[in-house]
């Protein structure tokens, strides 16, 4: 089975994958096992701006798949925020996109302090590994006074089985890794890769946040896009199937085992649930979309940040 999944994965990387207009379902009502925090925050804590923290694959402000540049990482999200009159900035990653989570977290803290000392209250928004960088940055208690809230989206707080799969030492996987290196994705240079494994996730989840001024933390749960309404990127269908196979025997509900193609829902939760969305890992930031899919993306993002405003977390 492993060899078969690898062959399908390679076929997608070679260009068999296709972009199809994605569909979305937005729900402000989170599942009972992931309760929503509906307590409004006083308006004096509302953020003046949103700092967008990109995840793996980012180089500076762009998204790269190996040698392929895929446009600005948060380009489409920024357009929505601008249309809502919300000041926003993207935290640029290192030029090669190789920094570890810890290195990215230090950069997050520096930027928050820079804006905070200018009198700006900041809302941190992290997608994928960007959410982990945000989470680790919060260990610097000196930035808490500058923060309104934190939102993570499609973040592997408990790791992703896909990375554990790729890190296995076997002949077929060695061939796959070499092939990916030829495409410009050299895992030996990606300092963060092992940090995204389930095995490593204890690093994030054994730390106790004891500061009473710790900012409100929210999660946007993303999943079921590949196997439900959304079909946007064939390669994510393959990776999603690999994950489902790896977690088949784990004691999670069927709902928790749903994935966004890269991260299962049970790994995404941290803090209070802000919303659950049927989408995939790329479409949630506006990638692989066109036509009606892009219109629905804009509507979903508008609803997310409208809800944040209603909670008093954003001006």
CATH number at residue 69: 3.40.50.1820
State both tokens at 166: 């790729």
Q: What is the mean pLDDT of residues 95-118?
A: 92
pLDDT of residue 53 exceeding 90: yes
Of residues 205 and 110, more confidence is placed in: 110
What are the b/e assignments for 127-153, b being 16+ CB within 10 Å? bbbbbbbbbbbbeeeebbebbbbbbbb
196 in any annotated domain: yes
Spatial distance between the Cα atoms of 151 and 52, rounded to a whole number of angstroms: 10
* Closest of 77, 49, 48, 46 to residue 61, by C-alpha: 77
63 in any annotated domain: yes
257 in any annotated domain: yes
- What is the pLDDT, as a whole number, of residue 36? 58
315 in any annotated domain: no
Confidence of residue 180 (pLDDT cuts 50, 70, 90): low
List Cα–Cα distances, 93 to 30, 60, 114, 150, in angstroms: 32, 4, 16, 19
The SS3 of residue 135 is: helix
Percent of all residues in the chain with a pLDDT value above 70, rounded to a whole number? 74
Range of the domain at 239: 2-310
Question: Cα–chain-centroid distance for residue 17?
Answer: 21
pLDDT of residue 155 exceeding 70: yes
State both tokens at 24: 């979305």
pLDDT of residue 232 exceeding 60: no
Element (H, E) at 165: helix 161-166
Confidence of residue 187 (pLDDT cuts 50, 70, 90): low
181 in any annotated domain: yes
Lowest-confidence segment of 127-131, 162-166, 196-200 by average pLDDT: 162-166
17 in any annotated domain: yes
- What is the pLDDT, as a whole number, of residue 228? 34
67-93 residue pLDDT tens: 677 789 999 999 999 999 999 999 998
- What is the pLDDT, as a whole number, of residue 314? 95
Could you tell me the sign of the dihedral formed by the alpha carbons of 132, 133, 137, 139, in that order?
Answer: positive
List Cα–Cα distances, 133 to 5, 124, 155, 253, 305, in angstroms: 30, 10, 10, 28, 21
List Cα–Cα distances, 140 to 93, 132, 214, in angstroms: 19, 14, 10
DSSP, res 202: H
pLDDT of residue 129 exceeding 80: yes
Q: What is the mean pLDDT of residues 29-36?
A: 63
Confidence of residue 124 (pLDDT cuts 50, 70, 90): very high
Domain count, the chain: 1
89 in any annotated domain: yes
pLDDT of residue 16 exceeding 50: no
pLDDT of residue 195 exceeding 50: yes
- What is the pLDDT, as a whole number, of residue 226? 40
Q: Are strands 272-279 and 217-224 parallel, antiparallel or unpaired?
A: parallel
Mean pLDDT of the chain: 80
- What is the pLDDT, as a whole number, of residue 27? 59
Provide CB contacts within 8 A for 206, sequence distance 6+: none
For helices 292-310 and 75-83, the axis angle rounded to 10 degrees is: 60
pLDDT of residue 115 exceeding 70: yes
71 in any annotated domain: yes
Task: Determine how many CB atoms are found less than 10 A away from the CB of residue 38.
Answer: 9
- What is the pLDDT, as a whole number, of residue 241? 83
The SS3 of residue 72 is: strand
Question: Cα–chain-centroid distance for residue 175?
Answer: 28
238-290 residue pLDDT tens: 788 888 888 988 888 888 898 998 999 999 999 888 988 888 898 899 886 66
Return phi, psi of residue 127, to 5°. -100, 135
Confidence of residue 8 (pLDDT cuts 50, 70, 90): very low
């Amino acid at each position: 089975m492993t060899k078969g999944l690898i062959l399908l994965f390679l076929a997608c990387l070679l260009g068999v994958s296709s972009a199809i207009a994605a569909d979305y379902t937005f729900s402000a009502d989170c599942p009972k096992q992931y309760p929503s925090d509906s307590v409004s925050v006083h308006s004096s804590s509302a953020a003046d701006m949103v700092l967008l923290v990109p995840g793996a694959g980012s180089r500076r402000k762009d998204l790269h798949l190996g040698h392929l540049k895929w446009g600005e990482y948060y380009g489409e999200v920024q357009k929505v925020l601008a249309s809502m009159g919300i000041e926003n900035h993207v935290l640029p990653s290192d030029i090669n996109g190789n920094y570890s989570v810890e290195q990215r977290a230090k950069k997050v803290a520096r930027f928050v302090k820079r804006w905070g000392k200018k009198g700006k209250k900041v809302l941190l928004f992290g997608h994928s590994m960007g959410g982990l960088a945000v989470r680790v940055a919060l260990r610097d208690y000196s930035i808490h006074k500058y923060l309104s809230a934190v939102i993570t989206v499609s973040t592997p707080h408990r790791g992703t089985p896909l990375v554990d799969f790729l890190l296995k030492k076997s002949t077929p996987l060695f061939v796959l890794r070499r092939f990916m290196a030829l495409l410009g994705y050299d895992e030996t240079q990606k300092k963060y890769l092992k940090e995204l494994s389930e095995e490593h996730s204890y690093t994030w989840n054994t730390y106790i946040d004891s500061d009473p001024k710790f900012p409100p933390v929210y999660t946007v749960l993303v999943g079921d896009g590949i196997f439900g309404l959304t079909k946007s990127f064939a390669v994510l269908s393959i990776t999603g199937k690999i994950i489902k196979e790896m977690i088949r025997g784990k004691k999670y509900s069927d709902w928790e085992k749903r994935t966004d193609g890269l991260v299962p829902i049970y790994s995404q939760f941290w803090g209070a649930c802000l919303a659950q969305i049927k989408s995939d890992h790329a479409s949630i930031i506006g990638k692989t979309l066109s036509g009606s899919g892009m219109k629905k993306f804009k509507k979903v993002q508008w609803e997310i940040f409208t809800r944040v405003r209603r909670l008093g977390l954003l001006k």
